[in-house]
Chain A
Amino acid sequence: MLSFGVIAQILWTSLATSSYFVLSAMAFAVVLKVNRLFNFAQAAVMTVAFYAAYTLVGLLGLPGRAGFVGALVASLVLSAAIEILGLRVLRRRGASTMFVFIFTLMISELVAYLAMLIYGTWPATVFPSLFWPATLVGPVAVSGWDVPAVATMLAVCAALYAFLRLMRPGQFMLAVADNPDLAELYGIAKDRVYLITMLIAGALGAVAMFLYGTRAQVQPTTSIDLLLFAIAASVIGGIGNIWGAALTAFVLALLQNASVLFIPSEWQGFLLYIVLFLAIVLFPQGVHFRKISQLFHRLFPRRLDNTHPKDA
């Protein structure tokens, strides 16, 4: 049953489907790292991005590129509005974490209900058809959606890495994430950094949702499920670790895809909740890859040093 072909197919499909999981996990993780906020409003931003693309492409018949730009613009506008009109006001009032959380949660639910009222609860897709022609590469079937999705994910990851490491606003983001008060003393405008972070997260969410909507059916509450996936990845990957969240999102996608071999497909969704709960119980501080490596070195020092017991 577990032939090379099956394993290779699962790995490839997981890599392809992880594209939107990785991007939404990074969007959640970057806000958590810089703004120190569990941003549930990300679900609202993703819902708006999808329905903007759906309106332009699915309903008005415009090309896919127009839908992508529409999704991006809509998500950026909503992200800016949430930050400027909501979060900034609450910050200035010194609102508690609970208050800010309720705000982000209510925004995501408000947008979901609005989408239900306007578009109904029927599943929708960006393009009328979800069929993508497939090509056989050895034993692996590669669909026409897979390669652009993986390429987009890798390009966005590289762009974000370069932005954070090489560009001034990105470095300011890292400074604020490290110590917001000290960063402010050095003349970094915190509010502007928080806005930039929200915009980046909005853009990441829009790309993720566009990819998702071109491959699967979307309902007004779909983005909340995607957000849970992002939360699980952020918790396991270590809070404040964007790349840890991205890597964990890929592993979770792999786990979900591989689970069809062992459990009925209707239980696939349930797996996420088990992982989320286990993550909180077993890895509340996230998986510390460095610590695991150190533990491994301590347990198997000779083998790793490539020295034979006799030589010791």
Chain B
Amino acid sequence: MEYFYTVIILIGLYVVLASSFNLIIGYGGLISIAHPVFYAIGAYTSALLSRDFGVPIVASMFIGAAVAVIASIALALPSLRVSGDYLLIASIGFQLGLLELIKNVSWTGGAGGLTNIPSFLVQSVGRETYVALVVVVAVLSVWLVRSIAHGPYGRALSAMRDDELAYSALGRNAIATKVSVFALGSGLAGFAGALYAHYFRYIAPEQFEILQSAAILTMVVVGGMRSTWGPVVGAVMLEALPQAITFLNLPPSVLGPLQGLLFTGLVLIFMFLRPQGLVPAGDLWRATGDKDAR
């Protein structure tokens, strides 16, 4: 039963990550692959604050998300002032650089990882309560992303993505819109990271590397970019699929690359055969005039 709960928690966290990444890359049209690093920032901040400074866990979780928001603004602001392409380059550098920093600093546990992270709810109330908490957070995240995408802010995002020049000519600040959507998505990822840290009680830099970027990107592309349910379907499918491979009892040296091959291979297949993903975005997608869906 414990294994079943763990799988549900992982699926819930990936739903948050995929939905928030969809907000950035799909609705915002911002090219970044550093989503796992904000997940890591939330996890490390919350874990360190609660473990080493005695900050209450709930407060540490929210501070973790806030630090992820601040870090994302610090990354996006200088990059987006120049061009969208720079966000991509800066995000890769930021992700690899921060993980390199975490590996070389002793107070983060270094490459070996951070252990003895305080548990939340599991020991006091029960594992089921934590599962319920993660599911509620996942549902709220999907609802939030959907509300944003279909509300006035979503229309502004869509306009900016389709024609940034026209958007700016109407007196709108494109950079502020981009930075805010990036920060919002990253904040959600940071909160998911905090939830991860206090359940598994162990975090290491290798859990937030490029494989995670590929996994989250796969969930969004395979599920369907710019659709509410696409990333949810992608997250459920692609989190359940590696669990099936786990039952093959392969050694870790084979299992990791095999999962990576599965993720990257699926993205490439979907890109050419079904670019709209499993759950097409409908009118919201087509309104952009994007030719990718052909």
Contacts and interface: CB of A to CB of B under 8 A. Distances in A.
A129 B214 CA distance: 35
Nearest to B26: A98
A64 to B, nearest CB: 28
Given A106-B214, A280-B86, A117 B31 contact: no
Interface string B151-179: 00000000000000000000000000000
B100 A116 contact: no
A270 B100 contact: yes
Nearest to A89: B272
A99 B276 CA distance: 11
Given A116-B256, A235-B89, A277-B90, A94 B291 contact: yes
Contacts of A276: 89-90, 93, 97
Contacts of B290: 96
Interface in B122-146: none
> Majority SS of interface residues in chain B?
helix
A228 B96 contact: yes
Interface in B256-277: 256-258, 260-261, 264-265, 267-268, 271-272, 275
Interface range for A = 35 or more
Contacts of A201: none
A69 interface: no
B55 interface: no
B81 to A, nearest CB: 8
Interface in A77-113: 89, 93-99, 101-103, 105-107, 109-110, 112-113
Those 5 A-B pairs whose CB atoms lie nearest each other, nearest first: A273-B97, A113-B260, A94-B291, A284-B82, A116-B257
Contacts of B86: 235, 280, 284
Most B-side CB within 10 Å, residue of A93, A98, A221, A235: A98
Contacts of B214: 106, 109
Given A228-B96, A273-B97, A101 B268 contact: no
A270 to B, nearest CB: 5
A180 to B, nearest CB: 18
B270 to A, nearest CB: 10
B89 A38 contact: yes
Contacts of B202: none
B275 A117 contact: no
A207 interface: no
Nearest to B101: A270
Contacts of A301: none
A120 B281 CA distance: 39
Contacts of A66: none
B179 to A, nearest CB: 15
A98 B25 contact: yes
A110 B261 contact: yes
Contacts of B33: 105
